[in-house]
Each structure stands twice: as structure tokens, then as C-alpha cells.
Structure 1
């Protein structure tokens, strides 16, 4: 039986975290901090370690791999963009927009999983698309309804439609395609990743509908969510900018949790919190440095492992 959530995640502990100038060109969630990179990395490591401790305390199995300082990969803390793991033992490897993010793809992560008893059957490697300037940044772009086999994707410079279609054919998903925009300098521009405006849980979906400017596309997204019995919890654009869309539901020892940053949690209304808590508990952690410099939050830091075990 297909599972939507897992109790096992891979996380990469940063060693050279900083604002990535190569991703800032179309990630408008990033901001510069007026402190030295070494201090930024130290703060990010502290936030990372606290976050991992909180997840482990509720029974989530967190597999932590250390980044490699030789790689100079400032965004390695966001592994969900380069890899996805699936219940049948398949893995997806994805083409990345920023050249320095391509070095994040490391065989050591796969070897670590195999050493822990996980089975890898097939690897779908889409990375050659980088040569053509075509990208699809993993579950940053692909919001996967693993039970109903639907892939929600907001097209952007980091999510190309033809590669999305290829993924859906390989993994047997139905594509649900739309454009999600944000306002930057008075213009509507595509949001870089679907998972900053949308979170898909077992029984509900947190989504910033205001970002989908096209009425037909918005209607289609809602149709699919409601067709599959998902309770829609709408957030505003200002809440999205506090990373309220960048959440992930995980399975703990005894309970399910919706994992998010402290900023996301604080941005929610009491009504939204009550809706979420009908289905699971909220687990939040302070990720201020990571969010400010990296332009990503809690969900981006977790690569879900659905692989079978020996």
C-alpha cells in the first residue's frame, strides 16, 4: 500500500552554508545578512542540530550526513532538491539550476542508505538535462501525492514542463501543472519552488492559492485536491513569505507531525492551527539564519526516505 508520509529522512549538516549568489537570481526569499560567512555557517549549524534533536525526540529516524568542505556547496542543507526516494526502491536524481548545487549530488548518501539496510533498485538520472539548460529540482518542484499518484508542479526557471512529463511517465504520476507567482518590484514573477507555496499531507493541503493567478489553473488544482478528499487550508502571500507553505508531514513514534519553522508557526492564525491539529501535531524549530540566507525552510531540509528495507 502506498504511503504519503515516512518516519525516515535524510538531512545534510552544512559546513559552508552562506547566501548562494548563484541561486539568488530567482530565489527572492533570500536576503543578505551583514555578518561573516563563518558566523552564518556556525549559526546555521546550531539551528540544524537543534532541529535534528527535536525530530529525533519524537521518534523520527534522521540520517545525518556531513557536507564535504571541499565541495563548497552553500545550499547542501537542502537535499530534497537533488534526490527523491520511492517505495518500490527507485530513486530520482535531478538537474539543478545553479552550477554549484550540482556538486551536492554525492554517492556517499546512497551508500549510507544501503549500509542501513535500504534497498535501491533503479536510479532515474535526469541530470544530463543540465547540458540543455533544463531543470527539475526534485521535491522542491514536485509536490507528490504518492497515494493518488499525482505530481503538482508550479512551472518556473527551475521546473521545466517537458522534464516534469518525463518524470511522470517514468514514475507513473499524473501531472497537475500551474504557475505560481509572487510580486517582486511590482511585477508578478514565478516562485522558484512549488514547496514554498504548497504542502501536501495525508488528509490536508496547506496552499497559497493567491499565488496562482490563472483562474483555470487554480480551479484545476482545487479540483484535484478535493477529488482526493484533501482538506484545503489556505494561507496568504505574507504567510508564505514566512515559509508557512514550506512544511512537511512526518511520522513520529506514536503520532504524526507537521514540521515547520518557528517563523511559519508564528505566522499561522489560530483557526489555521486548529485545522492542522485536527490531523496531527505541529513541531516547529527556529531556522532564522537558514531561512534568511538560504531562502528555504524546514521542508527543504528533509529528503524523505520511502525505500524498502532488507
Structure 2
């Protein structure tokens, strides 16, 4: 079992903007006075630059264009509606915002099969939307694939019962907690676990300050230590600069990179950078428009493809 992959699915935006349907509980989103055409052009430039940086180090990036008619402003974040697993399983997830449900596209599975990937089984959890039950993929689920665990901060977008069902289906142990951020002097649940936690092969970048309950914090720390993960703690201020929203990937010759935004990189201290680079190189790209309006960063833009390849 592998923790990181060299294959990534990314969706190129065609009509990117701030999604009014997600802003109700994504406190990272901020509006702008810029026109939508201008926003989309900026987002496309940031996206293309990011993709080319990944490809330059040998990451296999499968780029699929968004569909204009679908009116899916958040399609650039595919990791929320789908996940791909090493045994050929695919999971489809129930989404909180109605306009995000249109991001799910069967043709993407066909594209991956055309790329030589094998899909054996599809776990479809999307019916839960009818009961207002949500679990937004690897936005909510931080998967430790090697140690068979799923870390999850419960929120309006992460239902505990559905999380447990997912863990049973995928034979994972759930590590469940609550994570909060300060919004106008109130502690509010963080919408996605992956903005406060990143799990790499032998370390974790995590904002422990968001886990207000001491018992829950202790549980998360002991779970990470049990698996010999070095814990690199970030502050809540750094988390707000997307320093928790990172993903480790594999490039040419198996070389590992921790991928993040330039905003996140600039928020890190020298000591934190040194701790990360003791494990792997850092790759960062400027995606400020996408972060500001989308309320998600580098990790959210990458859906890892762990599917097996066809035997040639």
C-alpha cells in the first residue's frame, strides 16, 4: 500500500467565481469586485502555471476541462466528490452545495480508463444528499492509506455515521475529532479537515490549536505518534494562509514533493520549512485568486489517482 502517488486528476476552470452556496460555512472564502471574466482568466493562468510546475518534476497530471453549461464554480476542487484507491475502487461522495453536485461526471471515469487505469468497483454514497447527509471526499477524509486510518474533523459537511460506513467499506479505522476556527470572535467548525491537516508518508503538518477538546487533541497526537509520523505543528494564523492544505506527491524517479500554495509557503517559519525539507522538497505555486474566492488551496485542486494500471 502506498501513501503517495505520481498521478493526479485536475479540473481546469472555465467559469470560476466565488460560490455563494459554499460561503455559508467556508470561512476561508472572500469576495472581490473583479468581473467574472477577469476572475476566470486569472484562475486559468494560476491553474496552468501550477500544472506545468507539477509536470516539470515528473508528476503525471491528467487535466480535464470543466463544462461551461454545468455552471460549477468550484469544479477546480475535484478531491471533494471523488477518490481513487489502489485496489481499483472509486468512491463518489455526497456534496453540501447543490451546485457542487453537478461536478460529478461519469466521463471522467472514462478518461481515466482511456489513460490506462483500472476501475473495478464504485462505492456511491451520493444518495445521502436526499437526507442532507454529507461527506466531501478527501476534503473531509485525511487518509493514512498505509496504516489504514481515516482522520476526520466532523462538520456540517462531514457526517459521523456516513464516515463510519465509509471506513467499514474501505477497511479503515476512523480517527474522529472536531476542529474549530475563530470567526469574528466565535469558534466555528472548520468545513474541511484538509485545511488544518496534511498527512505525508512520514510526517504530518497539522494545526493542533484548532482541536479545542484536549482529549480529542491527545487522540490525534497519539494516533500520529503510533505510526511514527513527525508532527509539524502550525498556528491558526498559518492555517488561515492555507499552510495546512498541502499534499505530498511523487515525481520522476520516485522523488517526493510537498505541494502547497505560495501563500502557504510564505506563511511558514524557517524552522518549519527545515523540518519539511528534511523529508522532501517543497513545490509551491501562486494560486491567490483561486484561494481567495474558492476558499480552498493546492491540496483541494488535486485528486490523487491510486488506481492500478492495465497490464500492457
Which stretches of structure 1, 4 residues or more, deviate above 3 A after TM superposition? none
Separation (CA, whole Å) in 1 of partners of 2:247 and 2:105: 23
Per-residue Cα deviation, 1:3-25 (whole angstroms, up to 9, x for no partner): 00000000000001000000000
SS of equivalent residue, structure 1 residue 210: helix
SS of equivalent residue, structure 1 residue 206: strand
Count of matched residue positions in the alignment of Structure 1 and Structure 2:
309
* 1:142 to partner: Cα distance: 0.2
* 1:247 to partner: Cα distance: 0.1
Separation (CA, whole Å) in 2 of partners of 1:261 and 1:33: 20
TM-score, with length taken from structure 1: 0.99
Separation (CA, whole Å) in 1 of partners of 2:169 and 2:13: 32
SS of equivalent residue, structure 2 residue 79: helix
* 1:256 to partner: Cα distance: 0.5
* 1:185 to partner: Cα distance: 1.5
Where does 1:79-158 land on structure 2 (aligned, <5 Å)?
79-158=78-157
TM-score, with length taken from structure 2: 0.99
* 1:190 to partner: Cα distance: 0.3
Separation (CA, whole Å) in 2 of partners of 1:41 and 1:117: 31
The equivalent of 1:202 in structure 2 is 201
The equivalent of 1:301 in structure 2 is 301
Q: Which runs of 5+ in 1 are unaligned?
A: none
* 1:80 to partner: Cα distance: 0.1
Separation (CA, whole Å) in 2 of partners of 1:100 and 1:137: 14
Separation (CA, whole Å) in 2 of partners of 1:134 and 1:123: 19
The equivalent of 2:268 in structure 1 is 268
Cα RMSD of the aligned pairs, angstroms, is 0.4
SS of equivalent residue, structure 1 residue 87: coil
SS of equivalent residue, structure 2 residue 90: strand
SS of equivalent residue, structure 1 residue 26: coil
Where does 1:108-257 land on structure 2 (aligned, <5 Å)?
108-254=107-253, 255-257=255-257
The equivalent of 1:286 in structure 2 is 286
* 1:186 to partner: Cα distance: 1.2
Per-residue Cα deviation, 1:71-128 (whole angstroms, up to 9, x for no partner): 0000000000000000000000000000000000001110000001100000000000
Separation (CA, whole Å) in 2 of partners of 1:163 and 1:41: 35
SS of equivalent residue, structure 1 residue 222: helix
Separation (CA, whole Å) in 2 of partners of 1:23 and 1:42: 22
Separation (CA, whole Å) in 1 of partners of 2:54 and 2:270: 23
Per-residue Cα deviation, 1:170-210 (whole angstroms, up to 9, x for no partner): 00000000000001121101000000000000000000000
* 1:38 to partner: Cα distance: 1.0
Separation (CA, whole Å) in 2 of partners of 1:285 and 1:118: 28
Separation (CA, whole Å) in 1 of partners of 2:173 and 2:89: 18
Q: Which runs of 5+ in 2 are unaligned?
A: none
SS of equivalent residue, structure 1 residue 104: coil
* 1:33 to partner: Cα distance: 1.1
